[in-house]
């Protein structure tokens, strides 16, 4: 079967985002960019499926296609996924920061062309924090969805997915084709080896434009301003537990 | 303008996050209805009808709705959407799961996890793990919104809305298999007045529970954990406080052996009073703590138990 993995180029998770002085957004100039960490987990899981590692049966997955929507440099993000073990890539070039609805519509067009059996993607990007694209893509395709996956088993035309939900875990089964969004504890992504990085340079990345897909990507939301959250003032150090308890009683929280 | 709030059902009642979402909804309109979805949810619908300010309660039941499966919830809500200008749900894992699906079916941009209602079409929401706040104005005629419960006060009781039954859809191509819910007599993490959280310093699951559980029981607190402690297997995943876990804002938050990574701070920095216990005086957690004790938790926590009496 074929797996499609959408990936996003975002600010590196170790970098603290700083708001621009003119309140138009977050300053990304000269900031390290990386693959969205949740997407990296999706790529890793797809590669493990193809390799037949852990509980995945060998031969379940035979092709992994990675797609990114973004600036030209997002090719580097796709290249990272190819070095991890994906087979080929597609960049839909866009200088505009597209909303989840537009991204889902573009991905639907890609799914219509590629006809994957499974779309595997991160549950949210760490920049917009919307947690929406996977669910929206599933809706547009009329496919079942399984979000926040902590375990995925593919068998008998179904994905049986254990989801990380409030209060514990929920397992559901979704008939394939389906959209599965992954959570943090699904796996620990590998570092690509040097030979695989070299091999990835020869893998194909097709480049297309948003206009090639003829979908409506006009923004629905207008960003009025982006501001820094109120800073909490540092408090005081207390000498010991007894002093702490008496302070907490004075402020009325004990 | 009428608003539909999808309740966060808990057995025969609805969770506090529903009351908080009603508060956000009442800022948009005086006509707020609640939708209770599930199977055997009449008692929960009656509980929702008591929330002050609610016009009526809709009850939708089916097998798929019993487990809040996104496909069933989407089909049910889209069928009701014609009568509403906005649809709100608490930003629980259920709400985050089905709301974008509903939005896509209605061809609107979902608005995730708002922390403030500025006006009928303008909202504030955190981005970049809470390191920035964006104020956005929606141009969609119908709005699909999830609400961060900790940012709103709960609506009170005292209402007496009527309960109406509406058609509940089935899940179609997805099916529930099983649940594995963590049982606990302690308050729920998202709703607790006091939260005690442990970090990687604990070193093992045994130590984590040996240190945290008695303290939580003494304080009537919920237990949380840092992502590092969860990833190391010291605490279950639903204990995780942080941008990628639960966002909490209790009256008192006690962080024990937690250094204070950005993503953890994003999940607890709106707590009223923060206490940090850490042996590293330079740990970032002290920059947000109202009261800090520099010391080994192995010494400080037993002293704290003693001081609490």
pLDDT tens readout for residues A95-131: 999 999 999 999 999 999 999 999 999 999 999 999 9
Domain positions in chain B are 2-167, 194-308
Nearest C-alpha of chain A: how many angstroms from B234?
Answer: 14
Q: Check residue B217 and give its pLDDT.
A: 96
**Residue B127 · residue A128 · CB < 8 Å:** yes
**Beta partners for residue B122, in sequence order:** B119, B137
pLDDT band at B66 (very low <50, low <70, confident <90, very high): confident
**Residue B174 · residue B68 · CB < 8 Å:** no
Peptide bond into A126 cis (omega under 30): no
pLDDT band at B18 (very low <50, low <70, confident <90, very high): very high
**Residue-wise pLDDT tens digits, A147-179:** 999 999 999 999 999 999 988 899 999 999 999
Q: What is the mean pLDDT of chain B?
A: 94
Q: Check residue B95 and give its pLDDT.
A: 97
Q: Compute and round to an integer the Cα radius of gyration of chain A.
A: 21
pLDDT band at B204 (very low <50, low <70, confident <90, very high): very high
Distance CA A130, CA A100 (A): 8
Question: Average pLDDT for residues B106-123, to the nearest whole number?
Answer: 98
Strands A158-165 and A168-175: antiparallel
**Residue B84 · residue B2 · CB < 8 Å:** yes
Q: Check residue B183 and give its pLDDT.
A: 78
**Residue A226 · residue A20 · CB < 8 Å:** yes
The total number of structural domains in chain A stands at: 1
Q: Nearest CB to B71: which of A134, A144, A251? A: A144
Strand, helix or coil for residue A93: strand
- In CATH terms, is domain B2-167 a member of 3.40.50.1820? no
- What is the token pair recorded at A224? 């009025």
Distance between first and last Cα of chain A: 58
Lowest mean pLDDT among A201-215, B77-91, B172-186: B172-186
Q: Which residue of B has its CA nearest to A226?
A: B134
Nearest to A126 by CA among B148, B237, B244: B244
pLDDT over threshold 90, residue B91 = yes
User: What is the value of pTM for the model shown?
Assistant: 0.93
pLDDT band at B54 (very low <50, low <70, confident <90, very high): very high
Question: Average pLDDT for residues B183-207, to the nearest whole number?
Answer: 92
Q: Check residue B184 and give its pLDDT.
A: 80
Q: Check residue B181 and give its pLDDT.
A: 86
CB atoms within 10 A of CB A194: 8
pLDDT over threshold 90, residue B29 = yes
**How far apart, in Å, are the Cα atoms of B167 and each of B61, B77, B170?**
7, 10, 10
Q: Nearest CB to A166: which of B131, B139, B238? A: B238
Q: Which residue of B has its CA nearest to A23?
A: B134
pLDDT band at A232 (very low <50, low <70, confident <90, very high): confident
Q: Check residue A168 and give its pLDDT.
A: 86
pLDDT band at A37 (very low <50, low <70, confident <90, very high): very high
- Contact residues on chain B for A237, CB-CB shorter than 8 A: 286, 291-294
pLDDT over threshold 90, residue A16 = no
Distance CA B253, CA A107 (A): 42
Nearest to B21 by CA among B100, B104, B110, B86: B86
Q: Check residue A173 and give its pLDDT.
A: 97
- In CATH terms, is domain B194-308 a member of 3.40.50.1220? yes
Q: Check residue A57 and give its pLDDT.
A: 93
pLDDT over threshold 90, residue B56 = yes
- Contact residues on chain A for B306, CB-CB shorter than 8 A: 241
Question: Average pLDDT for residues B131-151, to the nearest whole number?
Answer: 96
**Residue-wise pLDDT tens digits, B224-248:** 999 999 989 999 888 999 877 888 9
- Contact residues on chain A for B126, CB-CB shorter than 8 A: 129, 229
Give the structural domain span for A187.
2-250
**Please, what's the largest Cα pairwise distance for chain A?**
68
Q: Do residue A147 and residue B97 have CB atoms under 8 angstroms apart? A: yes
- The ipTM assigned to this model is 0.95
Q: Do residue B293 and residue A166 have CB atoms under 8 angstroms apart? A: no
How many CA atoms, within 13 angstroms, populate the side-chain half-sphere of residue A34?
11
- Contact residues on chain A for B291, CB-CB shorter than 8 A: 235-238, 244, 247-248
Q: Check residue A75 and give its pLDDT.
A: 98
pLDDT band at A142 (very low <50, low <70, confident <90, very high): very high
Q: Do domains B2-167 and B194-308 have the same CATH topology?
A: yes
How many CA atoms, within 13 angstroms, populate the side-chain half-sphere of residue B139?
8
Q: How many residues does chain B have?
A: 309
Nearest to B175 by CA among A133, A57, A135, A178: A178
CATH number of the domain that A243 lies in? 3.40.50.620
């Amino acid at each position: 079967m074929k797996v499609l993995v959408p990936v996003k180029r975002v600010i590196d998770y170790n970098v603290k985002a700083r708001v621009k002085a003119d309140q138009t957004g977050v300053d990304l100039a000269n900031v390290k960019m990386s693959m969205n960490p949740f997407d990296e987990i999706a790529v890793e899981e797809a590669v493990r499926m193809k390799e037949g590692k852990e509980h995945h049966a060998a031969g379940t997955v035979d092709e992994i296609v990675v797609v990114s929507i973004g600036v030209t440099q997002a090719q580097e993000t796709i290249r990272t996924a190819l070095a991890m073990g994906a087979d080929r890539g597609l960049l839909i070039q866009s200088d505009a920061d597209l909303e989840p609805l537009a991204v889902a519509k573009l991905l639907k067009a890609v799914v219509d062309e590629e006809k994957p059996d499974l779309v595997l993607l991160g549950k949210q990007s760490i920049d917009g924090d919307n947690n929406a694209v996977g669910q929206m893509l599933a809706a547009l395709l009329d496919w079942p969805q399984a979000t926040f996956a902590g375990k995925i088993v593919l068998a008998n035309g179904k994905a049986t997915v254990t989801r990380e939900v409030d209060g514990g875990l929920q397992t559901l089964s979704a008939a394939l084709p389906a959209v599965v969004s992954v959570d943090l504890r699904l796996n620990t992504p590998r570092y690509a080896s040097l030979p695989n990085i070299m091999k990835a340079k020869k893998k194909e990345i097709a480049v297309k434009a948003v206009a090639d897909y003829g979908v409506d990507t006009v923004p629905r939301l207008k960003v009025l301003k982006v501001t820094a959250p109120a800073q909490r003032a540092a408090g005081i150090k207390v000498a010991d537990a007894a002093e702490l308890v008496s302070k907490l009683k004075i402020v009325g929280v004990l | 303008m009428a608003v539909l709030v999808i309740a966060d059902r808990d057995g025969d009642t609805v969770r506090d996050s529903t009351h908080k979402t009603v508060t956000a909804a009442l800022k948009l309109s005086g006509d707020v209805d609640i939708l209770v979805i599930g199977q055997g949810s009449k008692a929960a619908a009656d509980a929702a009808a008591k929330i002050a300010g609610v016009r009526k309660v809709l009850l939708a039941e089916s097998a798929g709705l019993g487990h809040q499966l996104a496909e069933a919830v989407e089909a049910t809500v889209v069928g009701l959407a014609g009568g509403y200008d906005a649809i709100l749900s608490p930003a629980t894992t259920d709400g985050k799961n089905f709301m974008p699906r509903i939005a896509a079916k209605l061809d609107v941009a979902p608005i995730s996890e708002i922390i403030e209602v500025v006006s009928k079409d303008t909202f504030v929401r955190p981005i970049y793990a809470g390191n920035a706040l964006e104020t956005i104005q929606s141009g969609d005629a119908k709005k699909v919104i999830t609400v961060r419960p900790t940012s709103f006060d709960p609506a009170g009781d005292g209402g007496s809305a009527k309960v109406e039954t509406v058609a509940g859809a089935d899940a179609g191509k997805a099916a529930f298999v099983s649940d594995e819910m963590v049982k606990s007599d302690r308050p729920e993490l998202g709703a607790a007045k006091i939260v005690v959280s442990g970090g990687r310093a604990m070193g093992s699951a045994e130590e984590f529970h040996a240190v945290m559980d008695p303290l939580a029981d003494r304080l009537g607190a919920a237990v949380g954990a840092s992502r590092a402690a969860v990833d190391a297997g010291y605490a279950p995943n639903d204990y995780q406080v942080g941008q990628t876990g639960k966002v909490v804002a209790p009256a008192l938050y006690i962080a024990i052996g937690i250094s204070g990574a950005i993503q953890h701070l994003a999940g607890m920095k709106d707590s009223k009073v923060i206490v940090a216990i850490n042996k590293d005086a330079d740990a970032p957690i002290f920059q947000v703590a109202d009261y800090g004790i520099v010391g080994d938790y192995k010494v400080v926590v037993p002293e704290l138990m003693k001081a609490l009496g």
